[in-house]
Structure 1
Amino acid sequence: MPPSRRLIVSSLLAGLAAPGAQAGTGAGAADVVETAWSLGGLEGTLLTPRAARRALGVLMIAGSGPTDRDGNGPGLATDLYRRIAEGLAAAGHAVLRYDKRGVGGSRAAARREEDLSFPVMEADARLVLRSLAARAEVRGVVPLGHSEGAMIATRLACSEAVAGLVLMAAPGRPLGVVLMEQLAAAGLPPELMAQSERILAALARGEAAADVPPALASLFRPSVQPYLASVIGVDPARDLAAVGVPTLILAGGRDLQTGESDIAALEAARPDARVVRLAAANHVLKPAPADRAGNIAVYADRAAPLDPGVMPALEGFLATLS
């Protein structure tokens, strides 16, 4: 299955708790200080402006699967999160990114795949957000989520005191809808599509799915079913409608995972949100050819630049919260 469809399919094939690359090499900017961060078994990296002043805090929440704090993992080498964090820190913000439970430096926090669930991931993000908000040099916090991380960021913005919300390449519809679309686009035969629908319906009812066909065993293996059951009822647009803070939505025009239907659902939920469409960007917000093969190549190229519209959109939005 192409890496460009990582939102659910390849992430689950790789394993929720598969090891990711260890986080980064430092900001490399004279005006930024890098500090190791840890709490409750989670490990991360905090970048702060060297100048002594209170800064807006940004919490970066990674996308699905074994994606680490830098935006890398098996078959994925983007440095997306590291680059954004360094850019925002250089612009004067305090940026915290962390390895999810079971990934990279936080691997020991989850030894078994079946122990991971969407509520667990959400609770971890809440813990990290509150840790960032409590720092003396931070005057307000903004959750910034990518892909599945955008769903978690939205949940935090519904219940925590935040200054704003940033969603990057965010799904706008429930997992079951998106997953069935992705399986169809991947060319799954009709009989396996029907079996997938049956399994998803069982998980939505809170039931374990038995008699999983061998061809679907990697996707619906017993150890991943608790996670799927926990996230399948999440409706990102419904959650976003309950958010009352300024919101930025960044969407790639060549994103093969989330598309115009997702953006439309989010826009309908929050008509006042600032939406920035990056026409040439893919799911990891880098310029990519329109064809699938070109997207895949970018996913494995750390040197590929961010879309030129990413940092101006982020910095411009955060400036309005100052």
Structure 2
Amino acid sequence: MKLKCLLMFFVGLSNLIISQENNFNTEDVSVNSFIDGTLLTPNDINNPPLAIIIGDSGPTDRNGNQNFQKNNILKKLAEGLTNQGIATFRYDKRIVKQIRKGRVDKNIGFNDFVSDAISIVNHFKEKNTFKELYIIGHGQGSLVGMLASKENVSGFVSIAGSAKPIDQVILEQIKLTVPGLEDASKVAFEKLKAGETTANYPPALESIFSKENQAFMSSWMQYNPQEHIAVLQIPVLIINGTKDLQVPVAEAQLLKNNAQNGKLLLIENMNHVMFPILGDDLENSKSYNESFRKLSPELIPAITDFIN
């Protein structure tokens, strides 16, 4: 009987762990049926600010990982900030949970990600245990974050966020890599922008225009980040790395130009996944799957200063 009680005691502690290596508490939190995440709260600090961290495109989990991309960047970001006295909440994108359960919603849209972020803001606003709420969006999460920052949020941080609608971003990449497919891609995007589906697209771009992706792409491309960052009344910090292979620094400058109360920080040699890269593009690409790497040393202090 005593052994059974002891086992139940440890099971009860499994979701609330006091870290021995870091100065924070860890708690698993389910906001609703779609959102599961990890809340880190600094020890010995009452009513700290909370930073809600939103991940990049794809089935990104709360740590920043996907099936073939394991780098733990969101976990490192969260732990780094909480060790500086800022509570953090990071979460699995809803599609991660669906994949694990084998029940993927084929009608999922970009707006669902925005709704999830707003639900998280409302959840912690109602809890009223944090003095202020901030959003940090990485990659695609930058656009999601700025759309969710219009109410109940004290500040917004964009890391490696694009300044252009996703169709423009993809068309620019096509022009650079396979320019012969640009015109046909434009026609396909026009169909999607009008809310229609299409079977008339270059077969080489199946991963972009496949039937199961078209509804999501159509909902995503309706948003122009420059327009939405322009309406934010809160302080905004825009961060980009000079070694980002996906989002050039010019994109960050465009966001800064349109923000009412924006500050731009370019971190030398930081790449898209927030690692410092001193070598070539091969090292840069490989780093996406190298969890042993540390984040660029300027990143945590810059966000900490912004929030504090």
Task: Report the counterpart of residue 277 of structure 1 in structure 2.
Answer: 266
Matched, 1:152 2:141: no
Matched, 1:314 2:307: no
Matched, 1:85 2:78: yes
Matched, 1:203 2:192: yes
Task: Report the counterpart of residue 94 of structure 1 in structure 2.
Answer: 87
Partner amino acid, structure 1, of 2:167: G
Structure-1 separation of matches of 2:30 and 2:301: 30
Structure-2 separation of matches of 1:197 and 1:38: 41
| 1:162-216 per-position Cα deviation (integer Å, ceiling 9, x unaligned) | 111111001011111111112233x2250x2222111111101111012333322
Structure-2 separation of matches of 1:318 and 1:52: 15
Partner-residue secondary structure (3-state), 2:240: strand
Matched, 1:235 2:214: no
Matched, 1:56 2:49: yes
Partner-residue secondary structure (3-state), 1:223: helix
Moved more, 176-185 or 250-259: 176-185
- Residue 74 of structure 1: how far off its partner (Å): 2.7
Q: Does the CA contact (< 8 Å) of 1:57 and 1:133 recur in 2?
A: no
Structure-2 separation of matches of 1:83 and 1:28: 16
Structure-2 separation of matches of 1:115 and 1:26: 39
Structure-2 separation of matches of 1:155 and 1:99: 18
* Pairing partner for 1:174 from 153, 162, 165: 165
Q: Does the CA contact (< 8 Å) of 1:69 and 1:98 recur in 2?
A: yes
Structure-1 separation of matches of 2:90 and 2:194: 34
> Structure 2 vs 1, CA of residues 114 and 135 (structure 1 numbering), >3 Å: closer, same or farther?
same
Moved more, 126-135 or 56-65: 126-135
- Residue 47 of structure 1: how far off its partner (Å): 0.4
Structure 2 residues without counterparts, runs of 5 or longer: 1-16
| 1:254-291 per-position Cα deviation (integer Å, ceiling 9, x unaligned) | 11111133112111102641111001000011111463
Q: Does the CA contact (< 8 Å) of 1:102 and 1:110 recur in 2?
A: no
Q: Identity of paired residues, percent?
A: 28
- Residue 137 of structure 1: how far off its partner (Å): 2.3
Structure-1 separation of matches of 2:91 and 2:98: 8
Partner amino acid, structure 2, of 1:73: Q
Partner-residue secondary structure (3-state), 1:77: coil
Partner-residue secondary structure (3-state), 1:29: coil
Please identify runs of 4+ aligned residues in structure 1 that moved more than 6 A.
none
Q: Does the CA contact (< 8 Å) of 2:135 and 2:149 recur in 1?
A: yes
Q: Does the CA contact (< 8 Å) of 1:117 and 1:230 recur in 2?
A: yes
Q: Which has the higher contact order (CA 8 A, sep 6+)?
A: 1
> Structure 2 vs 1, CA of residues 223 and 106 (structure 1 numbering), >3 Å: closer, same or farther?
closer
> Structure 2 vs 1, CA of residues 259 and 189 (structure 1 numbering), >3 Å: closer, same or farther?
closer
- Residue 92 of structure 1: how far off its partner (Å): 1.4
- Residue 112 of structure 1: how far off its partner (Å): 3.2
Structure-1 separation of matches of 2:211 and 2:139: 24
Normalised to the residue count of structure 1, the TM-score between the two structures is: 0.85
> Structure 2 vs 1, CA of residues 316 and 52 (structure 1 numbering), >3 Å: closer, same or farther?
closer
Task: Report the counterpart of residue 236 of structure 2 in structure 1.
Answer: 247
Structure 1 residues without counterparts, runs of 5 or longer: 1-24
* Pairing partner for 1:134 from 113, 118, 126: 126
Task: Report the counterpart of residue 67 of structure 1 in structure 2.
Answer: 60
- Residue 110 of structure 1: how far off its partner (Å): 8.6
Partner-residue secondary structure (3-state), 1:280: coil
Q: Does the CA contact (< 8 Å) of 2:109 and 2:220 recur in 1?
A: yes
Normalised to the residue count of structure 2, the TM-score between the two structures is: 0.89
- Residue 95 of structure 1: how far off its partner (Å): 0.6
CA RMSD, Structure 1 to Structure 2 (Å): 2.0
Task: Report the counterpart of residue 27 of structure 2 in structure 1.
Answer: 35
Aligned residues: 291
Q: Does the CA contact (< 8 Å) of 1:48 and 1:95 recur in 2?
A: yes
Moved more, 112-121 or 77-86: 112-121
Partner-residue secondary structure (3-state), 2:257: helix
* Pairing partner for 1:118 from 105, 110, 114: 110
Task: Report the counterpart of residue 12 of structure 1 in structure 2.
Answer: none
Matched, 1:188 2:181: no
* Pairing partner for 2:201 from 212, 216, 222: 212
Partner-residue secondary structure (3-state), 1:102: helix
Task: Report the counterpart of residue 5 of structure 1 in structure 2.
Answer: none
> Structure 2 vs 1, CA of residues 318 and 291 (structure 1 numbering), >3 Å: closer, same or farther?
same
Structure-2 separation of matches of 1:216 and 1:95: 38
